[in-house]
């Protein structure tokens, strides 16, 4: 799968089955934001940690200097929002509050994320034990390191889950999701071999041409 052909990675179905099992009685439309929010949080944290580890190898570099990350076009992730910290708190009864605070911290430190991330993990309806299990599950995926980015794992996992949620939601569930087969057909019809294609309503990652 190192070739980024868009084929399945091989573990998406097992990952989805496990994540969906944790949903319990929660509607797919609600659960979608819980899962996708965590996947994005893991992605930006993985990307940050890779740069962090690289900086630690440099004699005079400061691994907590945010300019080092901005230079790499990477989101600055504060300590309280880094995935290893969240993973260590997965069994904490207050994990919902901890995640909400992590989301808020990321938005505060990165203006581009302002009012974008979900911040409703502390709500009583969301089982905190299952939320901790979901964190453990997402922890098994490499998303933002160089090898994962080369395989486009984040986009492919995100899009796979988005498609499954659209199916689970039933009527209207596909409103914000275009199946990959349709994307392929559109691309083949457009034949964008030169110039640029601009689609302001591209939706999921599969629609980026």
Identify the band that residue 209 occupies on the pLDDT scale cut at 50, 70 and 90.
Answer: very low
Written as six digits, the tokens of 202 are 């591209």
Q: Are 59 and 159 in contact (CB under 8 A)?
A: no
* Closest CA relative to residue 48, chosen from 149, 161, 155, 151: 149
26-39 pLDDT, tens digit each:
887 788 888 889 99
Domains, the chain, in order of start with CATH, read: 12-169 (1.20.1260.30), 178-209 (no CATH)
Q: pLDDT tens digits for 44-61?
A: 999 999 888 888 777 776
pLDDT at residue 198, rounded to an integer: 66
Sign of the alpha-carbon dihedral angle for 140, 141, 146, 150: positive
- Of residues 81 and 197, which shows the higher confidence score? 81
d(CA 23, CA 36): 13
């Amino acid at each position: 799968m190192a070739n980024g052909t868009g084929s399945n990675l091989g573990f998406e179905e097992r990952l989805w089955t496990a994540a969906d099992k944790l949903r319990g009685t929660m509607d797919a439309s609600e659960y979608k934001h819980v899962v996708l929010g965590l996947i994005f949080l893991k992605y930006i944290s993985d990307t940050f940690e890779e740069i962090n580890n690289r900086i630690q190898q440099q004699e005079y570099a400061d691994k907590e200097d945010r300019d080092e990350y901005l230079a790499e076009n990477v989101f600055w992730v504060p300590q309280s929002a880094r995935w290893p910290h969240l993973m260590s708190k997965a069994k904490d009864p207050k994990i919902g509050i901890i995640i909400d605070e992590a989301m808020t911290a990321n938005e505060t430190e990165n203006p581009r994320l302002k009012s974008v991330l979900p911040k409703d993990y502390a709500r009583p309806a969301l089982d905190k034990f299952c939320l901790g299990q979901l964190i453990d599950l997402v922890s098994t995926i490499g998303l933002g390191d160089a090898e994962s980015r080369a395989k486009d794992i984040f986009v492919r996992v995100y899009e796979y889950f988005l498609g499954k949620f659209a199916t689970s939601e039933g009527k209207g569930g596909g409103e914000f999701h275009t199946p990959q087969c349709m994307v392929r057909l559109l691309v083949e019809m457009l034949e964008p071999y030169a110039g640029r294609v601009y689609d302001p309503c591209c939706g999921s990652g599969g629609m980026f041409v």
